[in-house]
Amino acid sequence: MEAESPLIEILLNNKVKILKIGKYNETEFEQLINSLSIAEKDRQRILKKIEELGTIDVQRLSKELQLSEENISCNIEYLKELGLLGFVGEKPRFFQDVIENSEKKGVFPSVNLIKERKLCSGCGLCVSICPVNAIDYSEGTFEIDDESCIECGLCYSGCPRSFFPKVLENLEENHDPNVKFLEELNYYRNIYTAQTTYPRIKKVGQDGGIVTTLFKTAFEQGFIDVSFAVTIGDEPLKPLPVLVESGEELLKTAGAKYTNTPVLKIFHDAKDYNKIAVVGTPCIMKALKKISFYPLNKPFYNNVFIKIGVFCMKSFNYDKIVEILKNEFQLSPSDVKKMDIDKGKFIVYDQNNEIFDVPLKRINKYGRFGCFFCDDLTAEHADISVGSIGSEPGWSTVIIRTKQGADFFQKALELNKIVKKDIEENSINFKELSRIAKSKLKKYVDQYPVKMIEQDPKIRTTNFEEVPKGLTTELVKLETQRCLQCGLPLCVTGCPVNIKIPEFIKLLKQEKFIEALYKIKSDNLLPAICGRVCPQENQCEKTCLLNSLGEPIAIGYLERFIADWERKNKLKECPECAAPKGIKVAVIGSGPAGLACAGELAMRGYDVTIFEAFHAGGGVLTYGIPEFRLPKEIVKDEIETLKMLNVKIEYNTIIGKTLTLDELKEMGFKAFFIGVGAGLPIFLKVAGLTLNGVLTANEFLTRSNLMKAYKFPEYDTPIKIGKIVTVIGGGNVTLDSARTALRLGAERVIVVYRRSEVEMPARREEYHHALEEGIEFQFLTNPVRFIGDENDNVNHMEVIKMKLGEPDESGRRRPIPIENSEHLIETDTVIIAVGTRANPILTKSIQELELTKWGYIKTDEDGKTNLKGVFAGGDIVTGSATVISAMGTGKKAAKAIDVYLTNKYLNMN
């Protein structure tokens, strides 16, 4: 035996352990190693050739190596996934991050990665192929026992949800003239509607009883020794995979089971049988096809006589079925006689034959996450696919796919075990099948997320116009097609204001733009703002299931599109308000927290007034974030929506100075929301802070944005900018300051950040934009002092190099100065952007208000402070955060204010 890859080496190193466990005996172990070695040899030859030619041109490699194109394509996928084709620019799709951080090269991770990314379909193959029995699949999902695991990666390489080579998708006899192709059904020979002739099977079987009949026939004819089936265990309805050795035994298992069963976990137990029949959902068929190519278990895959696949929209595990029964029907499994899916409904028959049903749509949310990753309704990788869609009651739709399937089906017909009718391609039944299969086709796999058109970096640094230009309707259409419409959408849970993202995307896809707008505005009144500045990559797009595959839906772009479409069409849609309640509420501060709170309260019928210290609304949206990222017209426009909800705004009113909270009470306000932000700049503790040319980002950006200094002398606020500007920090404020300085005429702008690029909290998109614009970055560098000339104008900054130590309380690695690494940077303007803290003007004026030791307002989860009727949210509670999180706290507080006021003033009895 020759060891060629870490996989084989790991198995050989663990031979004693594997043999002791007893899953493989000595001969079987040798067979496994031999089959892997044969495959490995091909793979090594292919890899060498790619290195020699520097290309992955399949045709050329096939010619040079005299191997089939299928073989080459599949091995390329395998090598790519192992991270071995990086030198020709081919990156692994599913676990690039794992490979980059792994010391071991050329070996797969464990299938735990699939579980983490919620992609598991529950086929159970990993259990079967693990040579050390380290995987347990009993409670709806698998668990890996780390102690037993030898980290060989066999489980991952066999998993159908890891990487599935494109070429395997349609390998099926595509040169045979009898084979037809339809995108939604893949390759097939014939489609029938068929029914059993066994009266007993008709009684217990589902639809036409075809699977049971075909397997029974196979037993009777001696075609098979064993078949995979599902039986009920001690718990009612709980399905257990079993091996069945006769037609009679098989009959006992007939009936409907809608929970997905890890059927392939018993695959290994079937290795002593010569002729095996397997039935299962599309993912199970896919798993079989994958291991048949990567010959992990080829010795016993060769024994599969027939594979019957059953149609599947989505799968549920047993626990979820119990939940559905409890929540939707108030039934327990022991009350149930039979379950069925028909005509878009999930149907339950109880022990008295009473029928209950709910639309399938309603139970989507109980499905497996990973199921939305599958685009196969009709089990394309089977020999014969069977389902009810496209047939009359009591009949099954049968798709014959392979020659093996065709011969076997023909035999059953000749023996009169079944009867069939053709389904013509222009028949209603065929159209129905085609329509539903098409609805499950997902285009996301090969379709990349859309890109926005952006202003050229060279041009945009000379103006303050917005950088990205938004999506066209065409691009929106493409992007919405990629959405999986998950039953339990993770994107919604990732959004702090829980926008109903899939519903909104569905409406966009149908080009129902007004409806899409209403949908989004019912949860978020500031979509044009959030679509531009929300860190979606850390929120909705991070939790999007497609992110597990690399490219999430561009939710932010879509949100921005619909808001811009509204403005472009001069519409002004806003949600309906409840009848006026005649109760006054004061909102202090017009930042995102205040605006969201005011909007939510207005919709609930309250009489809301916002008090704002500045002469313009929007908080940081107006005075902090620059025009080229968020045009002020847009902020104004979204504030107008609030006015349509009858929200009043009093500008130039500093609560705590112009008016006190007590005075507001005297004016009749019954509840208060404080959303005053945390805008007081933090200074560095270094020498030279008072030199001319050293300023805070807060002052710099406020001058530029709010006072329109960038339009001086048209506006009367000047701003002085030097030739070499250094900006200190690593967040959004830093990049906004740096990019503003460039636009105001700086020749060089250098960002100095004490941690590394990875730790930088700024939005990735903005970092990317800054790089494009020529901003320089000096990472792991920290200022020591600022140095000035004889007129006290700053001209240098002394800095020290840093290294990263252990993570600090923020979870980021702590920067530590490197001794004797001090050096000078030439600069004539220094902008300090190292964070902000709470401004005490308001909080000091309300003496009893409880604060944290840093001066932020203490609240409970709903925004309630220690004072009756006083609520708070946004940065003044959380410290500097994000627009959407501030909005989330504002909305939450509005709901709590509603409860407070309802109890106090409206539920008088």
| Residue ranges in contact with ligand FAD by CB under 6 A | 533-535, 588-594, 611-614, 619-620, 624-625, 654-656, 675-677, 679, 701, 732-733, 736, 763, 839, 841-842, 874-876, 880-884, 886
State the minimum distance, in angstroms, from the CB of residue 878 to ligand FAD: 8
Q: Which is nearer to ligand FAD, 387 or 591 (CB)?
A: 591
State the minimum distance, in angstroms, from the CB of residue 586 to ligand FAD: 10
Instruction: Give me the residue label for tokens 């009093």.
Output: 650
Token readout for 205 is 């079987």
> Rounded to a whole number, what is the largest CA-CA distance in the chain?
106
Q: Which is nearer to ligand FAD, 112 or 698 (CB)?
A: 698
Q: How far apart are alpha carbons 609 and 590 in whole angstroms?
A: 10
State the minimum distance, in angstroms, from the CB of residue 890 to ligand FAD: 7
The closest alpha carbon to 868, from 729, 670, 593, 660, belongs to 670
State the minimum distance, in angstroms, from the CB of residue 881 to ligand FAD: 5
Q: Which residue type is seen at 854?
A: W
Q: How far apart are alpha carbons 133 and 166 in whole angstroms?
A: 30
Q: How far apart are alpha carbons 46 and 612 in whole angstroms?
A: 68
Q: How far apart are alpha carbons 175 and 268 in whole angstroms?
A: 33
Contact 649, 610 (CB under 8 A): yes
Q: Which is nearer to ligand FAD, 361 or 844 (CB)?
A: 844
Q: How far apart are alpha carbons 689 and 399 in whole angstroms?
A: 78
> How many CB atoms are closer than 10 A to CB 742?
21
Instruction: Give me the residue label for tokens 């990222």.
Output: 629
State the minimum distance, in angstroms, from the CB of residue 642 to ligand FAD: 13
State the minimum distance, in angstroms, from the CB of residue 657 to ligand FAD: 7
Q: Which is nearer to ligand FAD, 120 or 613 (CB)?
A: 613
The b/e string for 775-800 (b: 16+ C-beta within 10 A; e otherwise) is bebebbbbbbebebeeeeebbbbbbb
Q: Which is nearer to ligand FAD, 92 or 675 (CB)?
A: 675
The closest alpha carbon to 581, from 556, 560, 602, belongs to 602
Q: Which residue type is seen at 18?
A: I
DSSP string, 573-633: --PPPPPP---EEEEE--SHHHHHHHHHHHHTT-EEEEE-SSSSSSTHHHHTS-TTTS-HH
Q: Which is nearer to ligand FAD, 394 or 761 (CB)?
A: 761
Q: Which is nearer to ligand FAD, 33 or 491 (CB)?
A: 491
State the minimum distance, in angstroms, from the CB of residue 871 to ligand FAD: 13
The closest alpha carbon to 679, from 657, 710, 702, 703, belongs to 702
Q: Which is nearer to ligand FAD, 629 or 796 (CB)?
A: 629
State the minimum distance, in angstroms, from the CB of residue 693 to ligand FAD: 20
Q: Which is nearer to ligand FAD, 266 or 746 (CB)?
A: 746
Q: Which residues pair with 655 in a beta bridge?
A: 659
State the minimum distance, in angstroms, from the CB of residue 9 to ligand FAD: 49
State the minimum distance, in angstroms, from the CB of residue 592 to ligand FAD: 4
Q: Which residue type is seen at 9?
A: E
State the minimum distance, in angstroms, from the CB of residue 692 to ligand FAD: 23
Task: Output the CA torsion sign for 98, 99, 104, 106.
Answer: positive
Q: Which is nearer to ligand FAD, 129 or 887 (CB)?
A: 887
For the chain, give me the number of helices (H) and strands (E)?
37, 31
State the minimum distance, in angstroms, from the CB of residue 458 to ligand FAD: 23
Q: 801: which residues sit within 8 A by CB, 6+ positions away?
A: 780, 781, 817, 818, 821, 823
Q: How far apart are alpha carbons 75 and 65 in whole angstroms?
A: 13
Q: Which is nearer to ligand FAD, 405 or 624 (CB)?
A: 624
Q: Which is nearer to ligand FAD, 134 or 872 (CB)?
A: 872
| 3-class secondary structure per residue, 706-753 | CCCHHHCCCCCCCCCCCCEEEEECCCHHHHHHHHHHHHCCCCEEEEEC
The closest alpha carbon to 739, from 764, 708, 774, 693, belongs to 774
Q: How far apart are alpha carbons 491 and 510 in whole angstroms?
A: 20
Q: Which is nearer to ligand FAD, 67 or 881 (CB)?
A: 881
Q: Which is nearer to ligand FAD, 71 or 878 (CB)?
A: 878
Q: Which is nearer to ligand FAD, 291 or 742 (CB)?
A: 742
- CB-count exposure of residue 46 (10 Å: 0-12, 13-18, 19+): buried
Q: Which is nearer to ligand FAD, 593 or 639 (CB)?
A: 593
> How many CB atoms are closer than 10 A to CB 400?
22
Cα→Cα distances 437→256, 389, 429, 501, 742, Å: 21, 9, 12, 24, 54
State the minimum distance, in angstroms, from the CB of residue 595 to ligand FAD: 7
Token readout for 536 is 């979606």
Q: Which is nearer to ligand FAD, 219 or 700 (CB)?
A: 700
DSSP string, 488-520: S-HHHHHSTT---HHHHHHHHHTT-HHHHHHHH
Cα→Cα distances 356→318, 346, 347, 394, 885, Å: 19, 8, 6, 20, 42
Q: Which is nearer to ligand FAD, 328 or 537 (CB)?
A: 537
Radius of gyration of the chain (CA): 33
State the minimum distance, in angstroms, from the CB of residue 611 to ligand FAD: 5
If you count them, how many residues does the chain have?
909
State the minimum distance, in angstroms, from the CB of residue 877 to ligand FAD: 8
Token readout for 396 is 């099954």
State the minimum distance, in angstroms, from the CB of residue 489 to ligand FAD: 21
Element (H, E) at 100: helix 96-100
State the minimum distance, in angstroms, from the CB of residue 596 to ligand FAD: 8
State the minimum distance, in angstroms, from the CB of residue 656 to ligand FAD: 5
